[in-house]
């Protein structure tokens, strides 16, 4: 490698590191706050290539076209830095990542755009904030130089999530959604029990009777039990909530199992699938004010089923949380739970550390019943090009690079699930989450309904604790109508 190229790579890394050290609070200029801690030789190198003039009257660094990439998720740091260096070296430009940990992230981007010498040219943003960003001029329709934003590369749910007023205003990068996680070893034990009962009761077609006495499996033909067990196992993964209740009614659980199913009933993200197909807020794209349907019989029926589950599973909503539920699953205390994409990394780690001693699987979230469909909630984080950027072409190119070429290594390096269809195709469990994502409903973008989720979470809590379902749904519907009317 030529000396100049080596120096460029070193200097680029120093810029990235120093930028991250500076944070973004009250940003006026990106200060190189870590410079004084560098060794004298590196300080001299830094100063030489940031201040020394060349023949053209410009510093070597300032001759490069530069864009600033903002993000708020610290787990992405190494991944973003690597992508920035690789893209910069290939294209002969500079991409400077800025980690912003401000609680008011979009407001910080707006502040930096209006009052800083380093405009955030491109940045990561959750899809529910895209209307706010677009109306503030902070989100420009994508140029899509690689024709990436099509259903050939992303599921419709991803494209809907980054669409506002019929314009794609971000490149889908990664997502979060939920799926059913199950203990495969327990399901095999259940299937064997059902096979043994079926054989003992005969194949006459009469209704099976359970005397409550344990079956002496030693007296049964092993091959017949194995064949019958496979029949039950093929249908063991539940398609509906009723299937889960059937397992709860018929499974003589092993010692240590405290319940058939447990999930975080206090968090709307893990509850929304009950009503996701029938409570419509803004349509699939999430920006249609006229497409809001909250109070309908199907939604009420789904919530009635949800309320009845409290009698079967007795989950205490005031003390349960996602972390404790995942730990209960790892400890073998439950058969089923609802997990988000991060659960696979937790289960893999527990297995490697010897804490998890069973096989597990992932399935799509079951329907509420054979007549009531479920639909999971999802959040998509997209790469947005700032409408005020003076480097939109370069910003679009980097956004396409991040969400296209870099998609394959995103999960491996960060634990975040790429929205790109080309990623994780060889991992069956990750593909289940991706299939669920493809059929999910995104958080809506409308600012008028931004507290809908908080109100819906309160509704779920009241329903779980036995309050009148119909009255609660009507109250929520009236509140949302009032908010929309007041915003007009």
Judged by average pLDDT, the poorest of 4-18, 65-79, 248-262 is: 4-18
Average confidence score pLDDT of the chain: 87
Instruction: Write out pLDDT tens, residues 21-65.
Output: 445 544 433 433 333 333 444 444 334 334 433 444 444 445 799
Predicted pLDDT of residue 11: 43
Predicted pLDDT of residue 33: 30
For the cut 90, the answer to whether the pLDDT of residue 309 exceeds it is yes
What average pLDDT does this structure show over 174-180?
98
Predicted pLDDT of residue 200: 87
Predicted pLDDT of residue 13: 45
Q: What is the DSSP string of 50-97?
A: HH-B-TTSSBTTTTS-EEEEEE--GGGHHHHHHHHHHHHHHHT-EEEE
Please give the Cα distance from 301 to 297 (Å, whole number). 6
Q: What angle do CA 173, 178, 180 make, to 5 degrees?
A: 140
Please give the Cα distance from 227 to 193 (Å, whole number). 13
Please give the Cα distance from 80 to 16 (Å, whole number). 10
Three-class secondary structure of residue 442 per DSSP: strand
Closest CA to 127 of 69, 79, 168: 168
For the cut 90, the answer to whether the pLDDT of residue 487 exceeds it is no
Closest CA to 307 of 479, 472, 123, 85: 472
Predicted pLDDT of residue 24: 59
More confident residue, 338 or 201: 338
What average pLDDT does this structure show over 249-268?
96
Closest CA to 419 of 406, 429, 427: 406
For the cut 90, the answer to whether the pLDDT of residue 209 exceeds it is no
For the cut 90, the answer to whether the pLDDT of residue 428 exceeds it is yes
Predicted pLDDT of residue 15: 46
Determine the distance from the C-alpha atom of residue 264 to the mean position of all C-alpha atoms in its chain, rounded to a whole number: 16
Instruction: Write out pLDDT tens, residues 85-140.
Output: 999 999 999 999 999 988 899 999 999 999 988 999 999 999 999 999 999 999 99
- Count the neighbouring beta carbons within 10 Å of the beta carbon of residue 452: 22
More confident residue, 452 or 208: 452
* Residue 243 confidence class, pLDDT cut points 50, 70, 90: very high
Determine the distance from the C-alpha atom of residue 443 to the mean position of all C-alpha atoms in its chain, rounded to a whole number: 11
Please give the Cα distance from 420 to 47 (Å, whole number). 41
* Residue 408 confidence class, pLDDT cut points 50, 70, 90: very high
Closest CA to 235 of 366, 429, 373: 366
For the cut 80, the answer to whether the pLDDT of residue 14 exceeds it is no
Cross-strand pairs, 340: 178
What average pLDDT does this structure show over 18-22?
44
Judged by average pLDDT, the poorest of 14-23, 451-460, 468-477 is: 14-23
Task: Show Cβ contacts of residue 228 under 8 Å, excluding neighbours closer than 6 positions.
Answer: 194, 195, 198, 199
* Residue 486 confidence class, pLDDT cut points 50, 70, 90: confident
Judged by average pLDDT, the poorest of 3-7, 336-340, 484-488 is: 3-7
More confident residue, 325 or 448: 325
* Residue 176 confidence class, pLDDT cut points 50, 70, 90: very high
Kindly state the percentage of the chain with pLDDT values over 90.
77
For the cut 60, the answer to whether the pLDDT of residue 412 exceeds it is yes
Predicted pLDDT of residue 185: 97
CB 360 within 8 A of CB 181: yes
* Residue 223 confidence class, pLDDT cut points 50, 70, 90: confident
Predicted pLDDT of residue 216: 59
């Amino acid at each position: 490698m030529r000396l100049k190229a080596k120096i460029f790579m070193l200097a680029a890394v120093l810029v990235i590191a120093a930028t991250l050290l500076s944070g973004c609070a009250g940003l006026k200029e990106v200060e190189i706050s870590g410079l004084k801690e560098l060794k004298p030789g590196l300080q001299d190198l830094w100063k030489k290539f940031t201040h020394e003039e060349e023949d053209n009257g410009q510093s070597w660094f300032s001759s490069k076209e530069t864009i600033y990439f903002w993000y708020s998720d610290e787990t992405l740091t190494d991944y973003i830095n690597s992508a920035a260096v690789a893209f910069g070296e290939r294209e002969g430009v500079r991409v400077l990542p800025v980690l912003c940990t401000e609680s008011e992230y979009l407001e910080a981007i707006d502040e930096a755009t209006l009052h800083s010498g380093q405009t955030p040219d491109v940045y990561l943003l959750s899809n529910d904030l895209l209307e706010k960003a677009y109306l503030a001029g902070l989100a420009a329709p994508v140029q899509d130089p690689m024709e990436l934003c099509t259903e050939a590369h992303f599921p419709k749910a991803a494209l809907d999530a980054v669409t506002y007023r019929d314009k794609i205003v971000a490149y889908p990068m990664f997502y979060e959604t939920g799926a059913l996680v199950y203990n495969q070893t327990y399901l095999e034990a259940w299937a064997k029990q059902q096979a043994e009962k079926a054989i003992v009761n005969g194949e006459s077609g009469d209704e099976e009777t359970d005397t409550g006495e344990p079956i002496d499996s030693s007296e049964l033909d092993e091959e017949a039990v194995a064949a019958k067990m496979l029949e039950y196992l093929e249908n063991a993964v539940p398609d509906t909530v009723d299937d889960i209740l059937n397992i709860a009614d018929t499974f003589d659980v092993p010692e240590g199992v405290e319940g058939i199913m447990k999930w975080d009933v206090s968090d709307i993200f893990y509850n929304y699938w009950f009503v996701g197909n029938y409570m419509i807020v803004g349509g699939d794209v999430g920006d249609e004010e006229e497409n809001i349907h909250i109070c309908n019989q199907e939604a009420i029926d789904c919530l009635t089923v949800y309320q009845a589950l409290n009698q079967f599973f007795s989950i205490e909503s005031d003390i349960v949380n996602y972390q404790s539920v995942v730990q209960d699953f790892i400890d073998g205390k439950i058969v089923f739970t609802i997990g988000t994409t991060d659960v696979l990394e937790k289960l893999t780690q527990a297995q490697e550390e010897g804490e998890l001693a069973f096989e597990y699987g992932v399935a799509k979230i079951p329907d509420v019943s054979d007549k009531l469909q479920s639909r999971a909630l999802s959040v998509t984080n997209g790469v947005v090009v700032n409408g005020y950027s003076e480097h939109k072409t370069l910003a679009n190119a980097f956004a396409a690079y991040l969400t296209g070429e870099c998609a394959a290594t995103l999960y491996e390096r960060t634990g975040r699930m790429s929205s790109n269809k080309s990623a994780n195709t060889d991992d069956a469990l990750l593909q289940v989450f991706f299939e669920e994502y493809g059929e999910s409903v995104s958080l809506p973008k409308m600012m008028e309904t931004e507290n809908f989720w908080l109100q819906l979470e309160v509704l779920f809590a009241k329903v779980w604790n036995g309050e009148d379902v119909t009255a609660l749904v009507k109250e929520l519907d009236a509140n949302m109508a009032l908010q929309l009317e007041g915003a007009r």
